Amino acid sequence: MKSTAWSRASRLAQSSWKGSGTWRSCPQRQLSPSRLLRYQSTGKPPPNLQLEGKTYQTDTWTNVPSSVLPLLSRRLHLQPSHPIALTRELVESRFPSSTYTRYNDLSPIVTVAQNFDSLGFPADHPGRNRSDTYYINKGTVLRTHTSAHEADIFRQNASPGYTISADVYRRDAIDRSHYPVFHQMEGARMWDRKKVQGGDIAKAVWTDLEQMPKHNIEVEDPNPTVHPERNPLQADHHSLEEVEAIAAHLKRSLEGVVVELFSKARRNMAAAHALESSHEEPLKIRWVEAYFPFTSPSWELEVFWQGDWLELLGCGVTKQHLLINAGVPDQLGWAFGVGLDRVAMLLFSIPDIRLLWSQDERFSSQFSTIDKITPFKAFSKHPACYKDVAFWLRSSSSSAGGGLKSNSQDFHENDVMEIVREIGGDLVERVTLVDEFQHPVSGRKSMCYRINYQSFEKTLSNQEANELHEEVKAGLANKLGVELR
């Protein structure tokens, strides 16, 4: 299910601006000739793109950068012993293949109809903007969520349930928890009125629930299953008795996932003496009412982990119109979605999302099987180089975004992130807006961003960081049409 719906958006931390164009001292080192991909200053894509064995014509909508295309083949969720793959396997282990078909190798290239239209996204939904989504051409995108495949799988109706794990793509911020590619897992379980005995969905669900394993962890669930304002019943399609049963089955299923993930992690961390004594309290989970566009009623599941409540996933009773539109109107059930990167980083104590993409053996050799979840041990602590870039926006700037030079008068923060990422790649740890100012007379707006350059493999010299930063400044000026300060 749609990832942004399953987690609250993290806001970039603001810090005071020490002045435009600040150059901070960094140790001197020689520059590696193969350190990064170079930004294409023209911003004009080739006439065709060869992706996943197919040829796609580009057009004015094309905005997928050269730095992202090589990542399509990485498939971290399928790489043996990778933290993302291990997390996927742990979650999958709670959904037996006899009931749940597993879809783990679906193409990341989908149509606009699959990614948006099939899920009822309005034509003016911000998720459709080129500032948020990577377009191969006007009708084709890199999927922004696993739900792009939802309607097709419902329509296939191959089994009562399914799970999907996949790499998904979004233009986003640059910091330790965001990357242009991340991984989602979603699942669903349906019951068919025409197939259950007597058409009694509630009875069929309760019967299935009785066969599921129980647990003994503490669960906080103070709210009623439905609430007319906060968590409404789909009264035109479902009875309260049906939803009570489906909600109970959903919650037991996902509580089992938490038990599998965090009990194993606690045991291994305790064995490795990595769990602080103050964090040895019993495992606890709680259910929180939520709103998601594809389910109602809906909930978030939180787990008490290392002294804090953490939002883990989102779920709910599937909106019936999705099933009707997919041609299976007699089915009803539940669905959930979880971000695998975030869970993997929690389980393995990985501090920076860039590490998940590292091909350094010092990283990959630390992980083996789902039976051994051990905390990540840092293998480098190289200092960071902070540099600021400030610029004036054009007076006619708007928030439409899009990132082509032909419409450089439009500004969106994600355009800044894409240019920095295209030039600096994984040498950029964080980009933060530190100051903005509007001139009282001209009305022009000034922005200042602080860029933290930091490598896992070596100490960047001041010269190296300066060269990168000059390219970033040139890219911003050339592609966005801003005036550097």
Predicted confidence (pLDDT) per residue in 47-86, tens digit: 999 999 999 999 999 999 989 999 999 999 999 999 999 9
Burial of 104 (0-12, 13-18, 19+ CB in 10 A): middle
Secondary structure class of 446 (helix, strand, coil): strand
3-state secondary structure of 89: helix
Q: What is the pTM of this model?
A: 0.82
* Packing angle, helices 201-210 and 240-258, rounded to 10: 20
The reported pLDDT for the residue numbered 369 is 84
Q: Are strands 284-292 and 218-220 parallel, antiparallel or unpaired?
A: parallel
**Residue 108 corresponds to which tokens in the numbers above?**
């990341």
pLDDT at 276: 55
> What span, in angstroms and rounded, lies between the C-alpha atoms of 390 and 400?
21
User: Could you give the CA distance from residue 301 to residue 299 in angstroms, rounded to a whole number?
Assistant: 7
Residue 298's DSSP bridge partners are 290, 316
Task: Report pLDDT digits (tens) over 318-361.
Answer: 999 999 999 999 999 999 999 999 999 988 989 999 999 999 88
Q: What is the pLDDT of residues 227-258, one digit of tens each?
A: 999 999 999 999 999 999 999 999 999 999 99
- Whole-angstrom distance, CA of residue 288 vs CA of residue 37: 43
First and final C-alpha spacing in the chain: 43
- DSSP secondary structure code for residue 372 in this structure: -
Range of weakest confidence among 98-107, 197-206, 437-446, 466-475? 437-446
Instruction: Give pLDDT tens digits for 372-395.
Output: 788 888 887 778 889 999 999 976
83-92 and 340-347 helices cross at what angle (nearest 10)? 100
Position 282 scores a pLDDT of 79
Task: Please give the order of strands across the beta sheet that includes 445-453.
Answer: 428-438, 445-453, 385-392, 483-484
Question: Can you read off the two tokens belonging to residue 367?
Answer: 């992980």
Tell me how far apart the alpha carbons of residues 197 and 446 are, in angstroms, rounded to a whole number. 66
